[in-house]
Copies of this chain bind each other. A is one copy, B any other.
């Protein structure tokens, strides 16, 4: 079994991002990512700080827009303001959102040209139609990792466990665009382990620590673990039981060090692409 090393992939992408950002700056455009934070959740604050640090390291300015217990209207107003602001190139609306507010609803107010985490339903529809668009960064990270491995996605049996709008469904669409045969499983799936054992490529995005055991994995399969479940001692574990599955899988992403760093790198790449587009598309 070999580890799929997300940190190396992220490093490659971030080197390209830094070069693109430097070029933009030389041309007078300072790439700017705005992150709307509608929660005072500590985990979110940590994550947002890590994005800001990564952005600034690669030459992208990052503005954190902290909202204090906002209603839907306040979030919408902020997203509209940022969408209309020519200095802003990328917009992320962080979750969790206040109770009763769905990302798909407020995401509509992020300009598709700045929608670097694919939160707008327009972006989701363009993704489903196979048109150019910004995909949710986590879903795209799954594909980015797979495409750098020596494997054939065309005709492969891909099984995605989890059907969220931000990971499961867009990852399924991206895999379908690569001509994999794609199955989407979830909490209502019968005999989940058996369905997963049919996978050449298994994507775990359920949000339950270690639930994908060795009996879910076909010998030699490629397993991408999207889970980031906090542990009691302040660490992170994935949805995959790493110790058990590493005995069976051919390739496996670790947590941390797999999907996570690539997701951050792709948010930055999307931001420089959005900044490049801003010079021609407005």
Contacts and interface: CB of A to CB of B under 8 A. Distances in A.
A119 to B, nearest CB: 10
Interface string A225-241: 00000000000000000
A186 B190 contact: no
Q: Interface SS of chain A: helix, strand, loop or mixed?
A: mixed
Interface stretch (A88-96, A175-183, A259-267): A175-183
A120 B131 contact: no
A188 B179 CA distance: 6
Contact of A183 (B120, B130, B163, B183): B183
Given A128-B169, A183-B181, A188 B154 contact: yes
B181 A188 contact: yes
A121 B184 CA distance: 21
A120 B121 CA distance: 11
Interface string A165-195: 1000100110010011111111011100001
A124 interface: yes
A169 B186 CA distance: 18
Contact of A176 (B128, B169, B181): B169
Contacts of A180: 188
Interface in A111-144: 120-131
Given A128-B169, A190-B155, A195 B181 contact: yes
A157 B192 CA distance: 11
Given A181-B188, A182-B184, A185-B181, A129 B104 contact: yes
A149 interface: no
Interface in A74-125: 102, 104-105, 120-125
A183 B195 CA distance: 10
Contact of A155 (B176, B179, B189): B189
A184 B176 contact: yes
Contacts of A195: 181
Nearest to A182: B184
Given A105-B131, A129-B165, 9 more contacts: A102-B131, A104-B125, A104-B126, A121-B126, A121-B128, A154-B188, A155-B188, A181-B183, A181-B189
Interface of A: 102, 104-105, 120-131, 154-155, 157, 163, 165, 169, 172-173, 176, 179-186, 188-190, 195
10 contacts: A102-B131, A121-B128, A121-B129, A123-B125, A155-B188, A155-B190, A157-B190, A169-B176, A176-B186, A181-B186
